[in-house]
Amino acid sequence: MIDIKAFREDPTRFRDGAAAKGMHVEFDRLTALDEQRRKLLSEIETKRAEQNRISKEIGPQMGKIKGQLKSAQGADRERLEAELAELEARPVKLKNEIAVSERMLNDIEPEWQAILLTVPQPPAHDVPRGAGSEDNVQMRTWNPKGFDASKPFAAQRGFAPKTHLELVRDLKLADFERGVKMSGTRHYVLTGMGMRLHQAVLRYAFDFMTQENGFSATGVPVIVKEECMVGTGFFPAGREQAYHIAESARGSGHDLYLTGTGEVGLMGLHADEILPLDALPLRYTTVSTCFRREAGAAGKDTAGLYRIHQFDKVEQVVVCEADDAQSRDWHKKMIGFVETILQRFELPYRLLQCCTGDLGVKNEDMIDIECWMPGRGDDGPDGRPTGAYGETHSASRLADYQCRRLNLRYRDGDGKIRHAFALNNTVLASPRILIPLLEIHQQADGSVRIPDVLRPHMGGLDRIG
RNA sequence: GGACAGGUGGCCGAGCGGCUGAAGGCGUCGGUUUGCUAAACCGAUAUACGGGAUUUCCCCGUAUCGCGGGUUCGAAUCCCGCCCUGUCCGCCA
C-alpha cells in the first residue's frame, strides 16, 4: 500500500508510476473520496469532542438529580423530572448529527480503502520503461565450462537433446497421467529418482541459505487468512491466482487461502509489530509447497513440469531499514546467492532487468533469472525445439509497500517509527528447476549426470539412468 | 466436536457504568547518589488518524482495554454475535 499522505502531496508520482506499469487506477475517484473522508472525519471529531464535553458536564448534575428524585414528591418531583429531561436532551442533536456523518463515512470508506489498495508502488527511477516482458533488458549471461547457451546444443555435445518430457518419461521420473487422474490438469506425480532429485535440490538450496548465508530457517503456514494475502500485496490483484478454502460457507470460522509462495508466511510473521532497530535486517528462508491456480494461463506451457498448480520452493526474504541503498545492496546479495547455486549446479542462465510494464503492483524493481532449457523455444528445421531461456527466479525490491500493508514497522536510531523495506527472491523452485537440470546434464546414452554438489543428497549417485 | 474458564499497555496484573489511556508491579530509557558494579531514590515510558503551528517531533482533537454490533447523555465495565486462548472430556494423523 502506498502512503496516502505521500499521494496527497505528490499525486503525479503515483499517477506516472501506475501508467509506467500499465495499470489503471481510479485516481480521480480516490482524490475525491479522500477529500470527502477527511472533511467528514473532521466534522465528526469536532462534534464528538463537543458531545464528550457536554457529557462530562451534565453527568454529575444528572446523578445528583436522580438522587433527589428518589425522595421527591409532587411538584418537586415534576420539576426535577423536567430538569432531567432538559439535560438529557442537550446532546441529542449532536448525537443525531454524528450518526448521519458516520453513516456517510461508512459509505465511502470501503471504496476509499479498496482503491487505495490498488495503487501500485511506483517503479524505481532507474527501471527501464517498457510495455511488457518483451522490453526487459538482458543484464548478463553465465555459462558453465564447456557449454555456451548461445550455440546449438547438438553442435557442442555431439547429440540432439531430449526435452525434459522425454527424459522424465524414459527415466521414469514423473507420472503425469496419474497426476491428472487424481487432481486434473497441470498435476503430476514425482516418482523414483525424480522425487529424490526434487528433494535433493530443495535441501541443497535450503542448507545453502541457512548454513552459508546465515538466513533463519523457518517453517510457515501455507494456509492463511485473507489479511495475510492482502497484507503481502497478493490481494486484491491476485485473487484469481489463489486457491480459496471457503470455510465460512460451512457456517463457522473464516475463509482461508493457499499461498502461492513462502513469501506470504515469511512476511506475515511480523505483521503489526514494531521491531527494535537491532532486529534488522530480518533474513528468513523457508521451504514450502506453493499453490497457484494459473487462471488466465490456459494453453500456456500445458505439458510437463514447467507450469503446474503445486510445487515446492525455497524462498528468501529480507526486511531491512527504510533505506534505498540498503535495499539495493541486499537485492544484489540475494541475486548473488541464486547465481552461486546455479553455478554450482552448472546451469547456464541470464539476468533480466524487468521493465516497468513487467513489474507487479508491489515492487519497484525486479530482476528475473532465467535458466537455459534446451527443450524450450521454437522448433528448428528438424521439428525439435531449439532451446530458450525460461524464468526460474524472480528478485523484487518492494520498498515500504508491503510493510505498510502489513503494518510492519521498526524504531529507527532516532526513536522514530518507520515502515521497513522488504525484498524477496526465489532461492530455488522445484520441479521447475529440474527442467534445465535434466536437459543440460543429459548424456548421449540417455542418462543424466548429477552435478557434484548434489551427490551427497542423492546417496552418492553420480548419474540417473 | 462437547463442557467450563478467560482475552486489559512491551510483560504481569487491578478495575466491572462517568473521577480510567487506564492503579500497582516488572521491564526499558534518562537523572541523582557511588571508586566501579549493584542497590536505593527521582522522572519518563502506546499507537493510529485528523487539524494547527515557531513543521523535525510542539500543541489541540478523535479513536483504540480480542473483533464487530447494541443499550446509555456517557461503556474497559452492561447486552448480543464472532474470533482466539486455556483446562477437562471425546476423537485422531
ipTM reported for the complex surpasses 0.90:
no
> How many Å does it take to go from CA A415 to C1' B44?
14
pLDDT per position as a tens digit, A324-357: 999 999 999 999 999 999 999 999 999 999 999 9
Q: Which stretch of A247-251, A387-391, A452-456 has the lowest confidence by average pLDDT?
A: A247-251
Q: How confident is the model at residue A66 (pLDDT cuts 50, 70, 90)?
A: low
Q: What is the pLDDT of residue A16?
A: 95
Name the residue with the least CA to C1' distance from nucleotide B49.
A41
Active site residues of A: 292, 307, 391, 394, 432
Determine the Cα–Cα distance for residues A64 and A236; give it in Å rounded to an integer: 55
Q: Please, are residues A161 and A432 in contact by the beta-carbon 8 Å criterion?
A: no
In tens, the pLDDT along A33-65 reads 999 999 888 888 888 888 888 887 776 666 666
Containing A202, the helix (H) or strand (E) segment is: helix A193-207
Q: What is the DSSP string of A369-424?
A: EEEEETT-SSB-TTSSB--EEEEEEEEEE-TTHHHHHHT-EEE-TTS-EEEPEEEE
Q: What is the pLDDT of residue A84?
A: 66
A164-178, A243-257, A376-390: range with highest mean pLDDT = A164-178
Give the residue with minimal CA–C1' separation from B18.
A59
C-alpha cell at A76: 418537586
Q: What is the pLDDT of chain A when averaged over all its residues?
A: 91
Q: What letter would DSSP give residue A133? A: G
d(CA A101, CA A83): 29
| A364 pLDDT more than 70 | yes
Q: Judge whether A412 and A321 are in contact, CB under 8 Å.
A: yes
CB A307 within 8 A of CB A186: yes
Q: Which nucleotide, over all strands, has the C1' atom closest to the CA of A51?
A: B73
* pLDDT at res. A227: 87
pLDDT at A70: 61
Distance A390 CA to B85 C1' (A): 47
C-alpha grid cell for residue A276? 527494535
Distance A206 CA to B84 C1' (A): 33
Nucleic strand B interface residues, CB < 7 Å? A 4-5, 38, 41-42, 44-46, 48-49, 51-56, 58-59, 62-63, 88, 91-92, 95, 252-254, 274, 409, 414-417
Q: Which nucleotide is nearest to A92 (CA to C1')?
A: B73
The residues, ordered by sequence, that sit 6+ positions from A336 with a Cβ below 8 Å of its Cβ are none
Residue A67 — very low, low, confident or very high, per pLDDT cuts 50/70/90? Answer: low
Integer Cα distance of A135 and A132 in angstroms: 6
* CA dist., res. A134 & res. A354, Å (int): 9
Nearest nucleotide (C1') to alpha carbon of A66: B73
- What mean pLDDT is predicted for residues A372-385? 92
Output the pLDDT for position A353: 98
CA A340 distance to own-chain centroid:
24
Q: Indicate if the pLDDT at residue A100 is higher than 70.
A: yes
pLDDT score at A105 = 86
> Any idea which nucleotide's C1' is nearest the CA of A63?
B18
Cell of A113: 480503502
Give the pLDDT of residue A178: 94
**Gap between the Cα atoms of A218 and A159, Å rounded:** 43
Cβ atoms < 10 Å from Cβ of A81: 13
Say which nucleotide is closest to residue A54, CA to C1' distance.
Answer: B73
The domain locations on chain A are 26-118, 133-464
Q: What is the CA radius of gyration of chain A?
A: 30
| CA dist A66 → A56, A77, A92, A380 (Å) | 16, 10, 19, 96
- Whether A107 has a pLDDT exceeding 90, the answer reads no
pLDDT for residue A406 is more than 80: yes
CA→C1' distance for A228 and B57 (Å): 32
pLDDT band with cut points at 50, 70 and 90 for residue A302: confident
The CATH number of the structural domain formed by A133-464 is 3.30.930.10
Q: Number of C-alpha atoms within 13 angstroms, CB side, residue A211?
A: 6
The pLDDT tens digits for A179-219 are 999 999 999 999 999 999 999 999 999 999 999 999 999 99
- Asked if residue A253 has pLDDT above 90, the reply is no
Beta strands in A234-364 (DSSP E): 244-245, 256-258, 274-276, 282-291, 310-320, 349-353
Q: Are A291 and A244 in contact (CB under 8 A)?
A: no
Nucleotides of B under 7 A from a protein CB: 1, 18, 47-51, 56-57, 61-63, 73-74, 82-84
Using the predicted structure, report yes or no on whether residue A21 has a pLDDT greater than 90: yes
pLDDT in tens, A420-445: 999 999 999 999 999 999 999 999 99
A212, A315, A336, A337, A464 from A457: Cα distances, Å: 17, 20, 23, 19, 13
Kindly state the average pLDDT of the residues A298-316: 90
Distance A115 CA to B75 C1' (A): 34
Residue A143, H or E segment: none
Tell me the per-residue pLDDT of A221-244, one tens digit each, with 9 for 90 and over: 898 888 899 999 999 888 999 998
Amino acid A413 CA to nucleotide B41 C1' distance, rounded Å: 30
